[in-house]
Amino acid sequence: MKSSQPLEESRRVAYLNALGIALWTQKAQLQESEAVAPPEESIARQPARLQEAAAQEPQPAVDEPSLPVIDYEIIKNMDLSALAGQVASCTACDLHKTRKQTVFGVGHHKADWLIIGEAPGADEDRQGEPFVGRAGQLLTQMLRAIGLAREEVFIANILKCRPPNNRDPRAEEVSACQAYLGRQIELLEPKIILALGRIAAQSLLQTSTPIGKMRGRLYHLENYNIPVVVTYHPAYLLRSPREKRKVWEDLKFARQQAIDTV
């Protein structure tokens, strides 16, 4: 575990400036083995890709995010427990009407690893904890495989509330929720972020690049200079167990980044 240090003001300002549609910016480096691959078109493009990504997903048509995003000014001084309280009473999007409870995230407050999934499912909605269903059990095993106990990482989701019938998150829900994850990242200052699945990866990195092309690359959340590694969602692995080998490669890659991050 690392010691926590206050964020530089410039990073905080950069973060605030980036709020609104473009909360995060990213750049990517290639893993050595992929260094000959052509650069991704998406990497050079600017944020505001979230709506684009969402527009490609099978979901009811949504013109523009119409809900107010959470005002970062309100949460910028909150610690994790105050933030969890704020999330628990959130009504910023319609998901509050159907949730049983919010799912803030769980884990060590000085974790080196931040694992980010998509959104709570039925089990998580019932228990108030991320990744507690079958996919969560597989995630716990995946972490164990690289020597990490669930308790020593922090696990959170892009959305803090369950979308009904496990449908994909909508762009306006991601927008409404993103300051919470931003503040979590700011407080945790992890050495590595592992994004699980297409929706987590595309939302976090504001790209529409297919997940298969995002794997094996090192991204950074520039405002925080935190490395991000993308891998498949454990729910996908339950359906396609042959892909576990690739996830194992991704986990080893992420572990190396965490070691390299000072």
Measured from the CB atom, the residue of 120 and 216 that comes closer to ligand URA is 120
Measured from the CB atom, the residue of 18 and 93 that comes closer to ligand URA is 93
Q: Give the span between the Cα atoms of 167 and 78, in whole angstroms.
A: 31
Q: What is the CA radius of gyration of the chain?
A: 17
Measured from the CB atom, the residue of 31 and 136 that comes closer to ligand URA is 136
CA 211 to chain centroid: 14
Q: Is 163 in the site for ligand URA (CB under 6 A)?
A: no
Q: How far is the CB of 117 from ligand URA (least distance, A)?
A: 3
Q: Give the span between the Cα atoms of 17 and 180, in whole angstroms.
A: 16
| # binding residues, ligand URA (CB under 6 A) | 12
Per CB under 6 A, contacts with ligand URA among 119-158 are 119-121, 124, 130-131, 135-136, 157
Q: Is 107 in the site for ligand URA (CB under 6 A)?
A: no
Q: Give the span between the Cα atoms of 233 and 135, in whole angstroms.
A: 8
Per CB under 6 A, contacts with ligand URA among 202-241 are 235
Measured torsion, CA atoms of residues 237, 254, 27, 117, in degrees rounded to the nearest 10: 40
Q: Give the span between the Cα atoms of 62 and 157, in whole angstroms.
A: 22
Q: Which stretch binds ligand URA (CB under 6 A): 15-23, 28-36, 51-59, 116-124?
A: 116-124
Q: Is 169 in the site for ligand URA (CB under 6 A)?
A: no
Q: Is 113 in the site for ligand URA (CB under 6 A)?
A: no
CA 173 to chain centroid: 14
Q: How far is the CB of 235 from ligand URA (least distance, A)?
A: 6
Q: Give the span between the Cα atoms of 86 and 94, in whole angstroms.
A: 16
* Crossing angle of helices 171-188 and 80-88, rounded to 10°: 160
Q: Given the rule CB under 6 A, which residues bind ligand URA?
A: 117-121, 124, 130-131, 135-136, 157, 235
